[in-house]
Amino acid sequence: DDGHDDGADCLDWQPIFDMFAHRRLPQMNEVQSVDFTTVCPEHSASSHWARIEMQEKQLAPSRIQIQLFPNKGRFEGTTENVTRLRLQLDGVITQRESVSIQLDSQELGECAWPTDGALTLRMSEGKWQAEASASLKLKGPHRCGWLKNGMNHRFVLVYGTNGSAAENEWSFNKARFDAEQWWYRGNGAVEVVADKDFRAAAYPDRGVVLYGNRVTNLAFDLLIQGSPVEAKPKQAVMGDKAVVRDDLAMLYTYPRADSDSASVVVVGGTGIKGMRLTDRVAYFTSGASFPDVLVFGPEMLKYGTGGLLVGGYFSEDWKVSGGDWVWNKTIK
């Protein structure tokens, strides 16, 4: 026995190629049943012709079990923790005037064949209904929130120069420190740019990390428009609430105004004390997870999570109302 030197048959062993041939992945139009679970649609949203686009409770398991009857042009199934679902029709079943849907024991009737070849279904007020493809401005697999997801798309670090001397110094040093962390932990290079030098058109569809707050960092107005959460001097704004303190740290992500895919991440606070608190947040550590928004004060240094003021997730349309929030009522 010459082992691995015993000719071509040893390298091209027929039984193993027979095994490969009988175990190929099915084509999409060969799949008639989907049973799929995900926790985060941005990380994993699709199984064959079905895609989970939005969850009722974000980052909790979402499951779909759907059966396709191709000759009838019919889908039947159940969902758990799903509010928006997309079914691919083109390339899966023969085109026809309409398809029939039954979800969670609800008959949707005949749904017209969509012009883009995929059917979007939404849960609204306890009922499923067919609708046009969801706007890219909404949360979805392309951009679903979660602080660290905002650092996708070749992110760039932008420090502020419009604050006090101490705030500007912190912002510059924090950006440099994060760049070196990313170099060491992620083996990656990231650009560090001053707000006064930043030009949005030079960094299209790229994630941006802004250091400071709306006043101290001049790039805020270029990149964040209409956000219900704001870091301002001496004020943390959360929808219709405003917490007046100069020592709060704020970390949050929000869609970049000029992009349908990239996000902005804010690392800052309501004053220099709050900004310096973010030095303790290890968002580049593997496995460390953060929601869309996190606000905390110096109490965190003594009480840990007991020092958090508020944290949670924006709604599907990036609003505070309809989102999922936890407030610490023991902190004023």
Checking if the pLDDT of 1 tops 60, the result is no
Checking if the pLDDT of 96 tops 80, the result is yes
Query: CA-to-CA distance for 175 and 181, rounded, in angstroms?
Result: 10
Checking if the pLDDT of 329 tops 90, the result is no
Encode pLDDT of 187-203 as tens digits: 999 999 999 999 999 99
Query: CA-to-CA distance for 147 and 210, rounded, in angstroms?
Result: 13
Alpha-helix runs per DSSP H in 212-296: 220-223, 272-277
Give the global pTM: 0.89
pLDDT at 305: 87
CATH number for the domain whose boundaries are 147-327: 3.30.379
Checking if the pLDDT of 3 tops 80, the result is no
Encode pLDDT of 101-118 as tens digits: 999 999 998 999 999 999
Alpha-helix runs per DSSP H in 31-128: none
pLDDT at 25: 86
**In the chain, what are the helix, strand and coil shares in percent, each to the nearest 5?**
20, 35, 45
Other residues' Cβ atoms within 10 Å of the Cβ of residue 121: 21
Checking if the pLDDT of 317 tops 90, the result is yes
- DSSP per-residue letters across 184-212: HHH-----EEEGGG--GGGSTT--EEEES
Query: CA-to-CA distance for 217 and 210, rounded, in angstroms?
Result: 7
Checking if the pLDDT of 2 tops 60, the result is no
User: Where in the chain are the domains?
Assistant: 28-131, 147-327
- Confidence bin at 298 (pLDDT 50/70/90): very high
Which residue has better confidence, 9 or 152? 152
pLDDT at 16: 85
Checking if the pLDDT of 332 tops 70, the result is no
Mean of all residue pLDDT scores within the chain: 94
pLDDT at 146: 92
Burial class, 181, CB count within 10 angstroms (exposed 0-12 / middle 13-18 / buried 19+)? middle
Encode pLDDT of 18-72 as tens digits: 888 788 888 999 999 999 999 999 999 999 999 999 999 999 999 999 999 999 9
pLDDT at 6: 60
Stretch 232-240: mean pLDDT: 96
